[in-house]
Amino acid sequence: MHYLIISFSHKNTDLVTRERLALSDTARRERVAEDLLCCDSINEIIVLSTCNRIEIIASTKDPYHSTEAILQKLSDISSISLEELEGRADVYEDNGAVHHIFSVASGLDSLVVGETQIAGQLKDAYKEAYEKGWCAQKLGRLMHYAFKCSKEVRTSTQISKNPVSIASAAVAMARDKLGNLGGMSAVVVGAGEMGSLAAKHLRAHGCNVILVGRNLQKTKEIAQEIDPSIQVTSNNELPRLINSYRLLFSATSSKEPVITKEMIEAKEFQRLWFDMAIPRDIEAIDLPNITLYAVDDLKEIVDKNMALREEQAREAYKIVGFYVKDFFRWLQTLEIDPIIKEIRAQAKEAALRELQKAIKKGYIDKNAEKNVEKLLHSAFNRFLHTPTKRLKAIADEPSADTIVEAIKFCFDIEDEVGLNRYKCEYFMNLRS
């Protein structure tokens, strides 16, 4: 079994390409996952799709053929040539895959280093895959450790102190451009996670917020949770709102722009707009007095934070490295302990079988059965003591996998022995 991750992110893929690759639509995501699970080489799948990344996380028998299948499927669904995807994709296997997903979960691979939003998004992706039967134990183990690592990075470093998400980066940029936001008014389109975050950050800076949502009742409930002072209105008011206020933050899940050229009127006052959605919410415009920022433009904020977070990131990577090593050590222990138990069970079964034969043939008196059984038990325990001790000692060594496979072959132990004895702590760790 191998771990494999195919990654398209802000590091290797521009915004337009990420929009075409985006798997934010549930039906589209299900089609990709279910089609890939039909491949003989792929055992389990998790699909992570956010504004800044599309990650296909897989447990596979054959990384090479699985990579081919994943890239071909993404090419088919996005209409991007296979050659272009091959040139852009970051492909991680085994140790590299584990290190990558631990780094992603810890916010170290994000556009804004140290942001915590990605951990929740990864948990949601895992929850979906687990509940829909796309993944089971192998990826469950990986996610279990990724969330442990993420939690350790958050608690042991200050990398997420005053965390910066895409939404907070947009608000910070607005503050940098306009100065104090207190008393100003901002229109926030979309009552999902990103829109809610933007509204929270704006209110924290004393900005009046008008929250626009497709479902008016749901939007009112969300606004009430954030701050009762937030005004709420429906999408029907968008044409009026975008032409009445200076600040606009948009983050919906719409596949098409919700703010089109036809809706926009020329105004004398300066307007600052932030499109935080993928695909984009605001149609490309070229009008005076409107400055439009998309997701990639927020790197201006990122650059300012990088210097401040660099030292903490180095400490965080040390933690990630420790957890990667500990993860593989743990996996090897999961393999070795059941194998030792299986060998002992085989030895005991053989000894008791031969004891019963001896009693049946009259070689041993029936009254002595218990004493002889104790003697046999002591004998095979003594015989297996050194092999058991040495097997446990090499659990941390790179050679452990080869030795374990050889022992499985010699004792005719099934490949899956021990693999089903670990119950993923899914419900315990999913929201920790």
The DSSP string of 183-201 is: T-EEEEE--SHHHHHHHHH
Q: Which is nearest to 97 in space by CA: 61, 58, 134?
A: 58
pTM of the model as a whole: 0.61
Chain-centroid distance, C-alpha 246: 36
pLDDT in tens, 44-65: 999 999 888 999 999 999 999 9
**Beta pairing, strands 2-9 & 90-93:** antiparallel
> How far separated are the first and last CA of the chain, in Å rounded?
28
Residue-wise burial string across 49-79, b where 16 or more C-beta atoms lie within 10 A, e elsewhere = bbbbbbbbbbbbeebeebbebbbbbbbebbe
Check if the beta carbon of residue 95 is closer than 8 Å to that of residue 35.
no
What residues contact 334, with CB distance under 8 A and at least 6 apart?
418, 419, 421, 422
Are 197 and 115 within 8 A, CB to CB? no
* Alpha carbons 101 and 218: distance in angstroms, whole number: 34
Rounded to 5°, angle at Cα 255 from 250 and 260: 55
**Preceding amide of 279 cis, omega within 30:** yes
Pick the catalytic residue: 38, 39, 51, 207?
51
How many CA atoms within 13 Å lie on the side-chain side of 5?
Answer: 24
Least confident of 20-29, 220-229, 412-421: 412-421
Report the C-alpha gap between 94 and 177 in whole angstroms.
Answer: 45
Q: Are 400 and 408 in contact (CB under 8 A)?
A: no
- The fold of the 166-293 domain, in CATH, is Rossmann fold (3.40.50)
Q: 92 CB contacts (<8 Å, ≥6 apart)?
A: 3, 4, 5, 7, 99, 100
* Residue 322: count of CB within 10 angstroms of its CB: 13
Using pLDDT thresholds of 50, 70 and 90, give the confidence band for residue 72: very high
- Say whether 51 is catalytic: yes
Residue 117: pLDDT above 90? no
Domains of the chain: which residue ranges?
2-162, 166-293, 331-429
Can you tell me whether residue 256 is helix, strand or coil?
A: coil
Query: Cα–Cα distances in Å, from 98 out to 7, 93, 279, 323?
Result: 13, 8, 29, 9
Res 23 pLDDT > 80: yes
Query: How far apart (Å, rounded) are the C-alpha atoms in residues 1 and 62?
Result: 8
Share of the chain above pLDDT 90, in %: 54
Element (H, E) at 225: helix 216-226
CB 4 within 8 A of CB 67: yes
Instruction: Judge whether residue 310 has pLDDT over 80.
Output: no
H/E stretch holding 178 reads: helix 166-178
Q: 322 has which bridge partners?
A: none
Give pLDDT, residue 410: 84
Residue 431, pLDDT above cutoff 50: no
Tell me if the domain spanning 2-162 has CATH number 3.30.460.30. Answer: yes
Query: Which is higher by pLDDT, 407 or 401?
Result: 407
CA dist list (Å): 412 to 36, 352, 379, 394:
32, 19, 22, 21
Q: Can you tell me the mean pLDDT for 387-391?
A: 83
pLDDT value of position 278: 87
